Structure 1
Amino acid sequence: METTGRLTTLLGSRLQSTSSISVADYEVMLALSEAPEARFRSSELASQMGWERSRLSHHLGRMEKRGLIQRVACADDSRGSEILLTPEGADAFRRCSAPHLRDIRELFVDALTPEQLAGVAKTVDALSAHLDRIESK
């Protein structure tokens, strides 16, 4: 946990200093960029990210004020809203992704051999499957 915290702190610090985007902003923009039709209902986005809906709602409000995302009425449910990246948000995401991926390579990938990376992948897959089984009980 200590190493994960150090890695997360370094990545977040570099992301913020090079692009003025927080790790939380990046997580939201990544999820939206990979979403079907580049949009999610807010409840689906919260579930996808593993965030509580209230935390996501507050964060989306801050992102919306900065022009990174937009909330629009849901076409099939007047009570819901969908979240999408604005053109400014999509541009910010594109600009920050390459430097962020370079930082991930430098701080994580370059520290491991190909065999070690394969081992990490197997370990993460096993842990994820285990957690899926526990959560589905």
Structure 2
Amino acid sequence: MVQTALAVTAHLETDLHRSAGLTPFEFHLLAVLGCQGPDLPMSAAAHYVDSSLSRLSHVVRRLEERGWVTRRTSPEDARVSLVTVTPVGMERLENARGPYRRITREVFLDAFTAEELEQYTRLTLRLLAGLREGHWLLNEERWPQEAREEVAVDGSVGDSSGGPGGASESDD
């Protein structure tokens, strides 16, 4: 199981880096920011990308340096940092969506029958529930349909084209 996860991650890393200069984690973060709209609190972004605030802060700093996101202090609460994807960041995200969807199709959609994919999805979500009780993806109605389509874990929780998946710790 570990070897399969590492192989999928390596394939995804290679194609996303080549197509858009993004790691899978950066791709996932930009997709979340694109779906959530401007000024997402960093704590909420960390929640949606399943990251610590420390890790997210380092990644956001790198993306800020590239001009792909902006970060500012909330006018309502100086303790809260708000992050927004920029038009340049959205362009990067768009450049990476095609390769991401192709990989999702090759690895998951083309490899399984519809019944197998449904079973895989159920099992994957069960594993996620055991690892991250109350994870937002387990309650997909919390997000509008468009966001669920963009942030699907395995290409079947949203639309069939998939969206950015989870990231491993080595993705930043």
Asked if 1:9 is matched to 2:10, the reply is yes
- The residue number in structure 1 matching 2:122 is 122
Larger Rg: 1
Q: 2:15 is matched by which residue type in structure 1?
A: R
How far 1:15 moved relative to its partner?
0.9
- The residue number in structure 1 matching 2:144 is none
- The residue number in structure 1 matching 2:62 is 62
**Greater fraction helix:** 1
TM-score (norm 2): 0.71
C-alpha distance in 2 between matches for 1:129 and 1:25: 23
CA RMSD of aligned residues (A): 1.6
How many residues get paired? 132
1:38-117 paired onto structure 2 within 5 Å: 38-117=38-117
C-alpha distance in 2 between matches for 1:58 and 1:128: 25
**Greater RCO, CA 8 A, separation 6+:** 2
Unaligned runs of 5+ in 2: 135-172
C-alpha distance in 1 between matches for 2:88 and 2:101: 20
Distance 1:59 1:122, change over 3 A: same
- The residue number in structure 2 matching 1:27 is 28
C-alpha distance in 2 between matches for 1:68 and 1:129: 32
CA deviations on 1:27-73 (whole Å, 9 max, x unpaired) are 110111222x3431112211221211111111111110001100022
Unaligned runs of 5+ in 1: none
Identity %, equivalent residues: 27
C-alpha distance in 2 between matches for 1:83 and 1:31: 11
How far 1:123 moved relative to its partner?
1.1
**Greater fraction strand:** 1
